[in-house]
Structure 1
Amino acid sequence: MPDAFREPFAAPPTIFGVSLLAAILMGLVIPWPVFPALVQFTFGPGAIVGGVILIRQSMHEIGAANTTYDPFAASTALVTSGIYRRTRNPGYLGLAVIQLGLAILINNFWIVLTCIVAVIVTTLFVIKLEEEKLFNAFGRDYADYCGRVRRWI
């Protein structure tokens, strides 16, 4: 049955949001600035825009395939076009890139560290379950896709 799967304990935007909030609070207690102003105002906004573009492209491809973007719902199509030819998780990658862009822009290295934690938590407790769900739904097609395209980058 395609919708018989374990749900992740939290949606990735929540995971990344909590990690971002924790980093901002840590930065208020123990500031950890490491980025020069030129890097802050050049690469920070660029990374944020890049992350938004990744998320929008992934939403577009999912919508074009008429399947769900919801990690808690059953997928009705295997999307391998557009940005999904380069990464299996462009939406989650976009969240990570936005968070790294914010780390650079507001000069808070804690955000970089908590972003790494968010990526690990998302991989272990969301992506692994999604991969199981997609393999059960699409079998060999999904296994072949995993062999061609990396999980993150």
Structure 2
Amino acid sequence: MSTTTSETGARVVPIPPPLYYAAALVGGVLLDRVFPLAAAHPALRVAGLVIACAGAGSAAAGVLAVIRHRTTIVPHRPVATLITTGVYRVSRNPMYLGLALLVPGLGLLIGTWWPLVLLPLTLLAVTRLVIAPEERYLRQRFPDEYDAYRARVRRWL
């Protein structure tokens, strides 16, 4: 018996996406202990706070939209609906965008550039291992609706 996209979710690597971002942050802090790459200017701490708050806001808005629409944030579970309103009108991935902003924001608050240096590797991993399979899944699950949504809303911003 075969399963349909309405019964399964995206075929993503079974690592929760927040762990990719946490690895960049923790890895950056650990690297800073061995090879300091200080971001010590007070203005950088203020910038870090602003960036981290923007990231937390984007991620929280994405989670709240998912809850409001009674679907799931777990990539390998089937989604009930394609969310295209609210923060999802600005980014197809507001939770991942928010986490991507949290990494450099928190790095600057902590006082190191390393998380920002590691962020491109994180974004590459998330794009290939999570977002690409999610997009394939959504295209199969909501073919016409997802193509129209994808044409008008960018992946990140």
Unmatched runs of 5 consecutive residues or more in structure 1: none
Q: 2:135 aligns with which of 128, 131, 134?
A: 131
Assess if the C-alpha contact under 8 Å between 2:93 and 2:156 holds in 1.
yes
- RMSD between aligned residues: 1.3
What is the TM-score of this pair, normalised by structure 1? 0.93
Cα distance in 2 for residues equivalent to 1:4 and 1:60: 20
**What aligned pairs does 1:105-144 form with structure 2 within 5 A after superposition?**
105-144=109-148
Q: Which residue of 2 aligns with 1:36?
A: 41
Superposed displacement of residue 55, structure 1 = 1.1
Q: 1:43 to 1:75 in 2, by over 3 A?
A: same
Q: Return the alpha-carbon distance in structure 2 between the equivalents of residues 44 and 103 of structure 1.
A: 7
Deviation at 1:89, TM superposition (A): 0.3
- CA shift, 1:114, in A, is 1.1
Deviation at 1:5, TM superposition (A): 4.2
Gaps of 5+ in 2: none
Q: Given the alignment of the two structures, is residue 7 of structure 1 paired with residue 20 of structure 2, yes or no?
A: no
Match of 1:94 in 2: 98
4+ long deviations beyond 3 Å: none
Match of 1:26 in 2: 31
| Aligned mates of 1:4, 1:72 — CA distance in 2 | 4
Is 2:9–2:76's contact at 8 Å kept on the other side of the alignment? no
**1:55 matched residue in structure 2:** 59
Q: Percent identity?
A: 29
